[in-house]
Structure 1
Amino acid sequence: MAYCTYTCKEYPGMEMCPGRFEAETEEELWKHIELHASVAHKEDPALWSSEDRAQVEALIRRHA
């Protein structure tokens, strides 16, 4: 079964964050990433620039 993962510490400036998420779809994974950013990092994902989103997207791993 295919799935996607994201590891927060791979994002520049977040090297100390232990957050790692796995989901069956990218849509579900984005929900986890955005919730984590809101709760753990006090960020508002609605304010992320397109460059920020592209950087997160580049760190999403797709597994077959």
Structure 2
Amino acid sequence: MTNAYAYACRDCEGMEACPASVVAESKEEVWKLMELHARVAHDEDPADWDQATRDYLGTLIKPVTV
């Protein structure tokens, strides 16, 4: 079994209807995928996220075993 990290967009407040989720080997890779998803699916610019938003999103990245 390998350790990895996961993020599900539906766990984010206000995004409960979004079915997207990602799993990657590192938190850094999950962050990149989250940012890409935000741009493509939600027309958000991650550069506009303040530190409080980034801190909140960071709590939604969970360790998983795959």
The TM-score, its normalising length taken from structure 1, stands at: 0.95
TM-superposition CA deviations, 1:24-44 (whole Å, max 9, x none): 001111110000000000000
Report the number of matched residues: 64
Partner of 2:28: 27
The TM-score, its normalising length taken from structure 2, stands at: 0.93
Alpha-carbon distance between aligned partners in 1 of 2:24 and 2:38, rounded to the nearest angstrom: 16
Partner of 2:13: 12
Amino acid at match of 1:8: C
Give percent identity, aligned residues only.
44
Amino acid at match of 1:57: G
RMSD across aligned C-alpha pairs, in angstroms? Answer: 0.8
Partner of 2:39: 38
